[in-house]
Amino acid sequence: MPEITRFYGIIIKLFFGDHPPPHFHAVYGEYIALFNIETLEMIEGDLPTRAKKLVKEWVTIYKDELKNIWETQEFRKLPPLE
């Protein structure tokens, strides 16, 4: 699973050809969660509240780029949250 970015101990990954809806994986230590790219909602898994807020802040910035990566299946890294 390609790593899209990494920030504050959170790793954002995306599987190409994965099941719908378009989503990405956020890994934070032993926690793993799936987030819907369209709605920005956590659709599976669990993250601590602070990590979940940081992921949502990041995806708000890069939502269009993530959608493009999902649709084209052309891998590229995205900047971390600063």
Contacts of 2 by beta carbon, 8 Å cutoff, 6+ apart: 13, 14, 16, 75
Q: What is the DSSP string of the chain?
A: --EEEEETTEEEE--TTPPSSPEEEEEETTEEEEEETTT--EEEE---HHHHHHHHHHHHHHHHHHHHHHHH------PPP-
pLDDT at 16: 81
Q: Where do the domains of the chain lie?
A: 3-72
The reported pLDDT for the residue numbered 1 is 67
Q: Print pLDDT tens along the chain (82 aa).
A: 689 999 999 999 998 878 889 999 999 999 999 999 999 999 999 999 999 999 999 999 999 999 999 999 999 999 999 8
What is the predicted pLDDT for the residue at 66? Answer: 94
What pLDDT is attached to residue 19?
85
Tokens at residue 76, please?
A: 């590229």
The pLDDT of residue 56 is 95
